[in-house]
Structure 1
Amino acid sequence: MKFRLLNFESRFCHPATWPIAWLATWLLAGPFGGVLQSTTLAADQPESIADFLSLNCIGCHDSGTSEGDLDLESLELQLEDPDNFHLWERVFDRVGQGEMPPDDTLDKEESLSFLSSVHGILKTADTARIRSAGRVPARRLTRTQYERNVQQLLATNIPLSEYLPEETLTNGFDTVSKSQQISNHSMAAYLQSADAALDASFNQLLADAPPPTVRFDWKQLRRDEKKTGRMAEGRPRHKDIVAWSTRQNFYGKLPATTVPNAARYRIRLSVQAVHPPSDGRVWCSVQSGFINAKASTMYWVGSFEATKEPKEYEFEAWIRDDHMLRVHPNDRGLRQVPVPLIGRKAGTLEPMGFPGVAIKWIEMEQIVADRAETRRALIGDLPLRKITTPVTTTQNQTKTNESSDRQFEIVSENPEQDLQELIHSFAQRAFRRSVTPDELKPYLNFARQRFAVDGSMREALRSAYRTILCSPRFLYFEESARASDDLALDDYALANRLSHFLWGVSPDAKLTQLAAAGRLSKPNILRKQTDRLLDDVRSTAFVKEFSDQWLMLYEINSTTPDGDLYPEYDDVLHHTLVDETHAFVEELVNHDMPAVNIVDSDFTFLNSRLARHYDIAWPGGTGLQRVKLDPKSRRGGVITHASVLKVTANGTTTSPITRGVWMLERIMGQHIPPPPANVPAVEPDIRGAKSIRDELEKHKSLESCAACHVKMDPPGFALENYDVIGGWRENYRAVSDGQKKSKWVDGLPVDASHQFVSGESFADIDGMKEILCKHPERIARSLAMHLVTYSTGAAPTFADRETLDAIVAATKSTNYGVRSLLHGVVQSPFFQQK
């Protein structure tokens, strides 16, 4: 028997945190009580396990041979060690799946006896661990959940996640508790974030009326024709400005739109295509930034398609201090104006027929929080008083100064009572449950001490709110159990899980009322509330964040496609890729569509730019649309979305290994351990002299590699007809030798054929889809597993397998509908227990 059991991921919290009692309990009282008197398998083991290992395994995996770095002769049964437990779990799975021993002489009854023995031991141990410590250790808000919660508490729209460190992912998700440590550095970041949010909120409370909407006409937006620069030129006859299609750096900047202060802005513009190509549209981008060579960082605002008819578009974006807008055609498929021509006199380029976008006007409106809402969040119904400060003029006359927000104070006739009521209300909203007087006392005392300094209600409240926003009771989920069951979550904890799962923010008033009444945990009410949250627009947070982590779309910006090999890739296409996947997943959830659509579907969501990339006929119209796919389109299912195909490539080449591992772990629900440290990576030949298949054949000749490659290579090769940006190819692209005008040439032909371990073979992507779709329950099980991990903060373990299977089995009547699977997760012990 050859096992690949290296560098296994730890499944549980550190053993030092485990109670000792449960281990002794299952050893003495479990199904093997009286047999397992020692934790060392080699010294004293159940007869069925000892006989099986001796007859079938020890020959290759004894202390002297240790093939695959596995020594079964001295393997210990120390299941309190997560790595040891995981190793035994892998042994169980390999034998159970018929992968080991490698010959066909294994007696079936003997194998079943071994599996039954090991299963009983592992399940008993894992169940005892869960009963003792719970499935999910302490879990905190992710930085996006933190941002939304603070914004909701303080009625502000300031972005906060940028203040906090990047999250560490476990099992692909940032919600998993065991990787959510808080250090001194991150605590300082939380303080900084809280200060920024409180300053913004209190300033809004005391601010003047919001600034008026500013409208820039074509004269204000046009360039100075004496200096030209990188600004769009004016067309007096049409009363507009035109930005032409060009690759000139920073071209299309609009200095007139420079914002006076960082804020969220609503941007409207009226545009029209100039000399559009045959499809009648010019794709353009809107960005913000300083837009010069010394500060070239650009921030994406959005894209639009200018057509022959004038159209108005609207965007919302956070724009930083002194940043301006940039609007220009951003489609690599358009005819480009040579850079030397850009500075020519206005009117020179238009007769040449280059495509461009005409802009009639731009409006910018600063979006501010509703002051009444901010007031309720911070000070309730307490009045504000304007304080006037005497100022002496040059003529020794006295006048009052009312210009500073420091000239206002919160008026309270009973500061002690008002502080207590306001801080109590804020704490209950922040902690997402009822708060006892003892729990409130430290924050109230802190506010009293600050009030004693100068009698300022504003500073007293701010100090208490700041402390609450950095409290473990706010940063962490306080998942208390019901009095009747030490594992079942109480209704407040259940409301928190549900709301953060589907909205990424604290429970609303309806969920809180049901939790307070103890009714949310009733199955029919919980189901109705799950549907209510899913039907609300706020559930887009779940669709986006779950999809981004489940499918690894968070890697979309990690690589930039090689400009020589993939000159057609542009920013508009780049930002469209994830839109397709988000809209597709949302459709699966909203209409309870079968999970098999993840692998193959007869529809997707496209705009005209993405349709052109896929070589799919565009049905007409603008924006993202649901498009029915021709069976011959070689599209359908998440696995052929360009977003997925890009994040599983490196920008220059594709690798069946990378895509194969992604398929196994994200879609097929199988974990692949990392390769041994001493195995070199496969380096594809970008000159096209050798195929990736040839390179992998040599790689797989290494004994330590073959066991995993037999699983991951088949689905990886099935995706080889898709290049690094998700385009279809019959041949690989290779770097040109410089003798041709193009910087790339067709290389070797693509061979996407392969064979699964089961013996089922396929010739291309369609063949692989057909094989996978024969077992929709496997696709559904994988999705359910990822939903459990994301929603609860812990991946299913060995003892959870039957529960996971039951969730999947219950959705068979809906063809394993995605919404049905989601309901199954929420109604399960996974979601409703600690």
Structure 2
Amino acid sequence: MLGQVLSRLAVFALVLVGSNPVASAAGRIDEGVADFLDMNCIGCHDSGSHEGDLDLETLVMELDDPDNFHFWERVFDRVREGEMPPDETLDDDEVSPFLASLHDTLKTADSTRIAAQGRVPARRLTRAQYARNVSGLLAIDMPFDDLLPADSLSDGFDTVSKGQQISAHTMSAYLNAADAALDAAFERSNRESTPDAVRFDWKKLRRDERRTNRMAEGRPEHQDIVSWSTRQNFYGKLTATTVPAAGRYRIRLSVQAVHPPSNGRVWCSVQTGVISGKASTMYWVGSFEATTQEREYEFEAWIRDGHMLRVFPNDRGLRQVPVKMLSKPAGTVEPLGFPGVAIKWIEMQQIFPDRAETRRALFGDLQIRRLSTDDTLATEDEATQLGLGELFEVVSKNPEGDLQGLVHSFAQRAFRRPVTRQELGAYLNFARKRYQSSGSMAEALRAAYRTILCSPRFLYFEESPDRLDEYALASRLSHFLWGVGPDEQLLQLAGAGRLSDPGVLRRQTDRLLNDERSSTFVKEFADQWLMLYEIDSTTPDSQLYPEYDDVLHHTLKQETHAFVKELVQRDLPARNIIDSDFTFLNSRLARHYGIEWPGGIGLRRVELGSSSRRGGIITHASVLKVTANGTTTSPIVRGVWMLERIMGQHVPPPPANVSAVEPDIRGATSIREQLEKHKDLDSCAACHVKMDPPGFALENYDVIGGWRDHYRAVGDTSRKKWSNGVPVDASHQFVTGESFRDVEGMKEILGKHPEQIARSLAMHLTAYSTGAAPTFADREKLDGIVAATKSSDYGVRSIIQELIQSPIFQNK
């Protein structure tokens, strides 16, 4: 028996060492690694038993293969965490040599890869970053979402390079987007004036009494119109507000509540659309609180050609006017006391960027001359093809010099660094040839700009292995915190070689975070870190959750964005992610949470009492909704979300042969009862002991983030939409043996380890900001980032600062 073991050990050691050039370069693997695996692991994971689809007898250590490396990394982690071998406690003097040897091997291999290739493979601008950069370069304002394909997520973020693919279809989309942006810029540069604001009084807004057509009725005695609370589809449309052209509009309106409920508020929505059954898609503009006092509200929105406004009460808690009654003569509804919103007037104005800025972005100091129809420089057809609108030409007394200067300036702004004469040559030659063939300076510039906007130097971050140069650092910093290329101050510091100075870099980080443009970082990072991009993926069942409405829906993310911004701006401890004594509410969300509204209008910071069931991002209705479907909650889904997004622990996907748990919406059994049977499978138990506890702790929150003591079940009668099902049991215990009764108990346990929450946040910030998730070689650097913020009680802003100061951020 001993001879068989030794023979097996020798073969296994040869397999581990002999076939791996990366490992050999790092030094021979200590025989203790093979000894440990043979004694403790191969019994269950050999070619015969093959438990967990793992065969250690035939496994090789080829660490230059990413999949193979990540497997060995997982072996290291599971042994270190005591998960393997299961049901057995090993002596520290047996485990420590194995972990030390494998750690050194993995770290050396990963460090070798990083030194040769960098942490981050080639990374390009995201769709949102592309849109902001192009808009800034051309001084325009236009949406790009319909022009470019959505970005894929990798490691939770669209900024991570390994999920960014460029296909022929994608490249074609970038060409089309560049053309559309240049069309808008050249058209704007030739526009002489901005349309005046148009005001619609009540007479223009009221419905035609001969054809009600879902429009609000007029009140001549008050000189306003009233939109009533009702379930009628498309009710509240305002035909008079139909826009003549697509663009960004400023919308102002004066409103007042009619017959408000006891809280004195009628929550209303503003939407746009064609607003007919043939084109039912509606686009959200915003919401407002109509009160007994007349108030003015202002919104900005991109409105599509031919779309109009819709303004109506949109609060499921209000009494609803029966649909049939809406067609009755004006004045019929009001005496019955139904709530509504009175609209005094609406004012709309199309907003354009400053024409002078657009001209400077395109033509510098050159003047524009209008052309007559008989001018031979360009025909109307040629002008149309160029997107020039009315005929005009750029006046230049030195075409060669002006072309070179303007193309050079545009390229430097686009590439976010100085451009050499050699690099500029191809773009400049393209412009020269177009000028020679057309005789048009405008056409030549447009051709060069189009080529630059589709260049890899613009689309991709230019980063070389090892330490980032000053300009690459400036670009990484600005795209991290502003989502756009560096401004003039960053570029000047980079040009002087000063940005990488630790003190300068700290001050610039603070400057960028203090600027309003950092709200882009807050929203885009929070949406991806917390999966808030899934907020529209499910619609709560109207039978089980009749109180859910659009106003509440669009408020959910506002709370979380404001909360994350507060953590960053005030450098609040990362433990606030788990629990806090404040949040951000408006009166609608406060009612949803059962929190007494302190008064005021709009979203505001609200202090939470000790008995509050809120506090911390994990109890925000936004994240509770995205971790549920429209009907039921699952401790598995929420548990995985907690582990990966908040606690920094990776959860592998379930085995392919394990079916999903189907919750019982009839209320006969609880999810706990069903999971007890599910996790009895050996292939499931190892993960369930980790993800079930935090998942069950959140079970008192339903699919829309409301508090519940019982699960909702489908009603037994047509008059009752839902009824109380079985009671909620949120108790559980962690694998460490620490038990809790409810979410407050879980918060208390997690709160004892603030460094764990801080480290998880630092991991996600690393992936988002650099374009690659932390690797094995980054682990000690990540620990250093967290340790450096202990004095600030692991402040969120401090974590951002220390990340930016670290080699993880400052190296490719």
Equivalence map 1:421-440=2 (5 Å): 421-440=405-424
Q: Over residues 757-784 of structure 1, what are the superposed CA-to-partner deviations in whole Å (9 max), with x where a residue is unaligned?
A: 0000000000000000000000000000
For 2:50 and 2:497, the matched residues in 1 are separated by: 56
Q: Is it true that 1:741 corresponds to 2:725 in the alignment?
A: no
Q: Is it true that 1:800 corresponds to 2:784 in the alignment?
A: no
Secondary structure of residue in 1 paired with 2:146: helix
For 2:96 and 2:215, the matched residues in 1 are separated by: 75
For 1:404 and 1:132, the matched residues in 2 are separated by: 49
Contact 2:628 2:634 in 1 (8 A): yes
Equivalence map 1:301-700=2 (5 Å): 301-390=285-374, 405-480=389-464, 487-700=466-679
For 1:582 and 1:105, the matched residues in 2 are separated by: 44
Distance apart, 1:233 and its partner CA? 0.4
Question: Which stretch of the first structure deviates more once superposed, 61-70 or 343-352?
Answer: 61-70
Contact 1:95 1:101 in 2 (8 A): yes
Distance apart, 1:406 and its partner CA? 3.7
Q: Is it true that 1:27 corresponds to 2:49 in the alignment?
A: no
Contact 1:23 1:125 in 2 (8 A): no
Q: Identify unmatched segments of 5+ residues in structure 1.
A: 1-21, 37-45, 392-402, 481-485
2:758 partner letter: A
Contact 2:229 2:319 in 1 (8 A): yes
Q: Is it true that 1:76 corresponds to 2:60 in the alignment?
A: yes
Q: Identify unmatched segments of 5+ residues in structure 2.
A: 1-18, 376-386
Matching residue of 1:725: 704
Percent identity of paired positions between Structure 1 and Structure 2 = 73
2:486 partner letter: P
Distance apart, 1:207 and its partner CA? 1.2
Distance apart, 1:73 and its partner CA? 2.3
For 2:719 and 2:530, the matched residues in 1 are separated by: 38
Contact 2:23 2:62 in 1 (8 A): no
Secondary structure of residue in 2 paired with 1:488: coil
Q: Is it true that 1:814 corresponds to 2:792 in the alignment?
A: yes
Structure 1 residue runs of 4+, over 3 Å off? 22-26, 403-406
For 1:585 and 1:657, the matched residues in 2 are separated by: 25
Distance 1:679 1:104, change over 3 A: closer
Contact 1:26 1:128 in 2 (8 A): no
For 1:701 and 1:554, the matched residues in 2 are separated by: 34
**1:785 is matched with which residue: 745, 763, 774?**
763
Contact 1:282 1:355 in 2 (8 A): yes
Equivalence map 1:76-225=2 (5 Å): 76-225=60-209
TM-score, normalised by the number of residues in structure 2: 0.95
Distance apart, 1:139 and its partner CA? 0.5
Contact 2:22 2:109 in 1 (8 A): no
Contact 1:269 1:359 in 2 (8 A): yes
1:516 partner letter: G
1:772 partner letter: L
Distance apart, 1:82 and its partner CA? 1.3
Secondary structure of residue in 2 paired with 1:74: coil
For 1:430 and 1:817, the matched residues in 2 are separated by: 35
For 1:73 and 1:377, the matched residues in 2 are separated by: 64
1:808 partner letter: V
Distance apart, 1:54 and its partner CA? 2.0
Q: Is it true that 1:766 corresponds to 2:744 in the alignment?
A: yes
1:567 partner letter: P
For 2:787 and 2:438, the matched residues in 1 are separated by: 65
Contact 2:157 2:528 in 1 (8 A): yes
Distance 1:419 1:491, change over 3 A: same
Matching residue of 2:7: none
1:117 partner letter: S
Distance apart, 1:24 and its partner CA? 3.9
Distance apart, 1:405 and its partner CA? 3.5
For 1:443 and 1:556, the matched residues in 2 are separated by: 43
Question: Which stretch of the first structure deviates more once superposed, 53-62 or 657-666?
Answer: 53-62
Contact 1:146 1:161 in 2 (8 A): no
Equivalence map 1:747-758=2 (5 Å): 747-758=725-736
Distance 1:444 1:390, change over 3 A: closer
Q: Is it true that 1:232 corresponds to 2:210 in the alignment?
A: no
Secondary structure of residue in 1 paired with 2:46: coil
Q: Over residues 48-103 of structure 1, what are the superposed CA-to-partner deviations in whole Å (9 max), with x where a residue is unaligned?
A: 11221222122212221121111222321111121111111111111111122224
Q: Is it true that 1:299 corresponds to 2:283 in the alignment?
A: yes
Contact 2:20 2:62 in 1 (8 A): no
1:351 partner letter: P
2:267 partner letter: W
Q: Is it true that 1:709 corresponds to 2:697 in the alignment?
A: no
The count of corresponding residues between Structure 1 and Structure 2 is: 783
Distance apart, 1:804 and its partner CA? 0.3
Q: Over residues 723-771 of structure 1, what are the superposed CA-to-partner deviations in whole Å (9 max), with x where a residue is unaligned?
A: 000000000001112x251111111110000110000000000000000
Q: Over residues 621-640 of structure 1, what are the superposed CA-to-partner deviations in whole Å (9 max), with x where a residue is unaligned?
A: 00001000012111000000
Distance apart, 1:198 and its partner CA? 0.4
For 2:167 and 2:71, the matched residues in 1 are separated by: 31
Q: Over residues 631-681 of structure 1, what are the superposed CA-to-partner deviations in whole Å (9 max), with x where a residue is unaligned?
A: 211100000000000000011000000000000000000000111111111
1:691 partner letter: S
Secondary structure of residue in 2 paired with 1:575: helix
For 1:540 and 1:23, the matched residues in 2 are separated by: 47
1:789 partner letter: A
TM-score, normalised by the number of residues in structure 1: 0.93
Equivalence map 1:246-285=2 (5 Å): 246-285=230-269
2:350 partner letter: Q
Matching residue of 2:809: 831
For 2:609 and 2:350, the matched residues in 1 are separated by: 45
Secondary structure of residue in 2 paired with 1:632: coil
Distance apart, 1:453 and its partner CA? 1.6
For 1:292 and 1:469, the matched residues in 2 are separated by: 39
Secondary structure of residue in 2 paired with 1:679: coil
Secondary structure of residue in 2 paired with 1:466: helix
For 1:24 and 1:423, the matched residues in 2 are separated by: 48
Once superposed, what is the RMSD of the aligned Cα atoms? 1.3
Distance apart, 1:574 and its partner CA? 0.3
For 1:691 and 1:288, the matched residues in 2 are separated by: 42
2:786 partner letter: V
Distance apart, 1:613 and its partner CA? 0.2
For 2:373 and 2:515, the matched residues in 1 are separated by: 49
Q: Over residues 559-608 of structure 1, what are the superposed CA-to-partner deviations in whole Å (9 max), with x where a residue is unaligned?
A: 00001110000000000000000000000000000000000000000000
